[in-house]
Structure formats: structure tokens, C-alpha cells
Amino acid sequence: MGISRDSRHKRSHTGAKRAHYRKKRKFELGRQSANTKLGPKRIHEVRVRGGNKKFRAMRLEAGTYSWGSESISRSTRIVSVVYNASNNELVRTNTLVKGAIVQIDATPFRQWYENRYAKTLGKKKRQGNEEEKDADKPRSKHLLAKIAARQSSVDPALDKQFASGRLYAIITSRPGQSGRCDGYILEGKELEFYHRKIHSKK
């Protein structure tokens, strides 16, 4: 028996059994879930209704993540799955699905921030000598004026994550449908909420 998405086999809202007047139809079919795992990129192309295509990601290791408060996006490596509201088994098996909380590599975002604001992120990780070297870099007056005009403050909880080199992010794309694993970095109240959830599970 194939996977079917029809509702004719269900009882009506009053509890009555519905009459069987036809067999399964092609337009009611369902397919097996992709269960996208962490690993070297592997995507299957699936021909769907209307001759369209879906991209079934079997394995992915990177995605594009946006940093909302700074309005930038960078492609970065996915390290691991840390929380999934629907099922703990998906965390254990490192399954990538929409809504899963993952840890991503912070390096592209840290490099961008330090280049734009001439400030270091995650100071615990960086040594004092390195900070002094960064401050002594030759810069033109025009560039110094531009940097001074830019104002930025990073949430302390996010800064602590930059020190560890990993950031918490949420997946907003559907890897089994689009073949991509994109999302955004968690900040503020949302970060606090998921931080509590992650640590209560351990």
C-alpha cells in the first residue's frame, strides 16, 4: 500500500463511516520523508505534479543564515542539531528539518563584524596581543570617520556564543522540498527561550 493523503478513509465529523466509491488517485499520493542528515551535500531531484521539480536533500553540511539585527546573510557550515520541539530522536540522529535548532560556525559573521566596526567579538577567545595588533592597523582618516559613525552593540548572550565559535540558529527552509538548509541566528527573547529548552533537555 502506497502513502495516501486522502481524507475519504476518515470518518465524518459526526462519526459516520464514509462510503467507498473509488480507489486511490495519483493526485492523493504522498511520498516518504527525506530525513535530511548532516553530511556531504547530496540532493535528489524529484519530478512532481505538473512536471515541476522538488529537490530532496538527503545530506547537507552548509546553508545561508541571516543575522537579523545587522541585516546581513552569510553562507556557513552547520555543526550539529541541538533541539527539535517535535522529537528528540531527530536531535540524536542530526536530522535537518524546518524549525530545528542548529549550531552553526560563527567565523563568517565574526569576520564581517570585526571588519565593519573594528571591534572584536568573543573577547575571551581572542588574546590581548591580537586585539592590540588589530587596533594598530593603519587606517585612513576617512575610514576612521566612517567606523566612528557606525554604531553597534551585540547582545551579551550572543557575544558569549561568538567566544565559543558557534551560534544557535533556526532552520526556516524545508530541506526535503527545496534542497536548502537556510535560516536565521537566534537573538533576544527567542534565544533565551530556546536556551532554556536546550538546557532543560540535558
Global confidence as pTM: 0.84
* Cα separations in angstroms, 114 against 130, 150, 187: 12, 12, 19
* pLDDT on residue 184: 97
Strand order in the sheet with 42-47: 37-38, 53-60, 42-47
| pLDDT value at 1 more than 90 | no
pLDDT digits (tens, 9 = 90+) for 33-76: 999 999 999 999 999 999 999 999 999 999 999 999 989 999 99
Pairing between strand 62-67 and 183-185?
Answer: parallel
pLDDT digits (tens, 9 = 90+) for 7-34: 999 999 999 999 999 999 999 999 999 9
* pLDDT on residue 149: 66
pLDDT digits (tens, 9 = 90+) for 164-181: 999 999 999 999 999 999
What is the average pLDDT across 90-114?
Answer: 94
| pLDDT value at 104 more than 50 | yes
* Gap between the Cα atoms of 73 and 77, Å rounded: 13
* pLDDT on residue 125: 45
* Cα separations in angstroms, 97 against 64, 68, 94, 184: 15, 21, 10, 14
